[in-house]
Amino acid sequence: MEEPGVRRFPDGFLWGCSTAAHQVEGGNHNNDWWEWERSGHILTGDNSDPSCEQWDRFAADFQLQAELANNAHRLSIEWSRVEPSEGQFDEEAIEHYRQVLTELRRLGQAPMVTLHHFSSPSWFTARGGWAARGAPSAWLPFVDRVAEELGELVALWCTINEPNIYAYQGWMSGEFPPGHKGDVPGLFKVLANMRRAHIAAYRLLGRRTPGVPVGLAHHKWLMLPARPRRSDRAAVGVARLAMERWPVGGRLARVVDAPGDFIGLNHYTGSLCSPAMLPAEGFIRRTNPPGMEENDFGWAQNPRWMRTCLQEMHRLRPDLPLYITESGTAVRDDRRREAFLEATLEEVWLAIAEGCDVRGYFHWTSVDNFEWARGYAMQFGLIGLDLETQRRTIKPSGRLFAEIARTNALPVP
């Protein structure tokens, strides 16, 4: 008889961590992010080499994930390694990723493979990157080759990570390469190309690996009106245009309506929205709710927002299962991560109890790593990293995650 108060997750629920190749592997020198880092664009002056040296240390890191009771892992395959020059594929890199996926399978960790997670080969960006005509066609040979060579090892495909964040950060805020600011036409060119690319990849993967679910990872930055006024509600609507929609013909369609077998949800935070007069702010002022806890990014932290996001995704696409493809918090005080993790997972459990078809949770991230524009200053990991010695240490939050994953249930209150 089960102990009273046990909050159990559905049988077969996936528990894992989420990573991106460029943030953990080290040695990625043939892509736009390496060029961006070497040009002095990282706030801390850091760069992604060596990061976690996971190109060489993947087996040991996956063993640590086994200690965290992971039965799944979300990772990306670095396009610039597999196709270092247009049309030229590196067999050694493909063999490396075969070993990576085989090791995950050996340890009982189902691989969710992301095919574009922010970084692109230098040859691709030299011809205009994702804003250029023909960008989807340039990406698809890589997708096809990976599916042909490695598809039998993949449990789930994630075509593109956070297309709206990628486009906004690179063509509006300028924080990501290519560093454009306020480039609205560029923003929509990128989103239109990524939409075409996702649809083409969805069809291709369906032919190459029938039966393997395909989706994308959608970033949900929760937007709320700062005050119960029409102007603030309008500000929310404008903000959501950039974060949640992409061009389809002459209109803006919801990203979550893209063809797919599941929806991947990345959620970290939310903002109160009100109108602003400055173009630099995108005519929207975003603020944190007064008195709400913030992480080291300055992002508001409210575990209840996870359930709100899951409920909205389920309402918009009740036909598709949901995977939480990223969730976590950047804090140096691991006690705060423990509290946030347990509170967030309670909201996930409540969402499931209310009817949301959530089938997995991938924590961002496993080992502390290179956090894009913020370098090593932001620590999301369940496992700590000493950059000088490359020594890993499982944090108390990691032990908590392991117990939840091992029992498939939250601790009894």
pLDDT at 216: 98
pLDDT tier for residue 5 given thresholds of 50, 70 and 90: confident
pLDDT tier for residue 281 given thresholds of 50, 70 and 90: low
Pick the closest to residue 379 from 324, 333, 320 (CA basis): 333
- On the question of pLDDT at 283 being above 90, the answer is no
Report residue 401 as tokens: 């995650």
Each residue's pLDDT tens digit, 210-232: 999 999 999 999 999 999 999 99
* Local structure of residue 412 (DSSP, 8 states): P
Q: In angstroms, rounded to a whole number, what is the distance separating the alpha carbons of residues 314 and 308? A: 10
pLDDT tier for residue 413 given thresholds of 50, 70 and 90: confident
Each residue's pLDDT tens digit, 67-105: 999 999 999 999 999 999 999 999 999 999 999 999 999
Q: Which residues are registered as beta bridge partners of 215?
A: 158
Specify the residue for token string 């880092």: 37
List, in sequence order, the alpha helices (H) in 209-325. 230-244, 304-316
pLDDT tier for residue 278 given thresholds of 50, 70 and 90: low
pLDDT at 306: 98
- Percent of the chain at pLDDT > 90 equals 94
Q: How far is CA 299 from the centre of its chain?
A: 17
- On the question of pLDDT at 280 being above 90, the answer is no
Q: In angstroms, rounded to a whole number, what is the distance separating the alpha carbons of residues 159 and 24? A: 19
Each residue's pLDDT tens digit, 376-402: 999 999 999 999 999 999 999 999 999
Top pLDDT among 279 and 138 is at: 138
The whole-model pTM stands at 0.97
- Percent of the chain at pLDDT > 70 equals 98
pLDDT at 58: 98
Q: In angstroms, rounded to a whole number, what is the distance separating the alpha carbons of residues 84 and 123? A: 8
pLDDT at 252: 96
State which amino acid sits at residue 344: T
How far does the chain reach from its first CA to its final CA, in angstroms?
Answer: 18
Mean pLDDT, rounded, for 251-255: 96
* Local structure of residue 105 (DSSP, 8 states): H
pLDDT at 279: 55
Cβ atoms of 201 and 140 within 8 Å: the answer is: yes
Each residue's pLDDT tens digit, 30-68: 999 999 999 999 999 999 999 999 999 999 999 999 999
Cβ atoms of 335 and 404 within 8 Å: the answer is: no
- On the question of pLDDT at 282 being above 70, the answer is no
pLDDT at 24: 98
Q: In angstroms, rounded to a whole number, what is the distance separating the alpha carbons of residues 166 and 190? A: 9
Mean pLDDT, rounded, for 161-174: 96
Report residue 294 as tokens: 């913030």
Report residue 221 as tokens: 């930055």
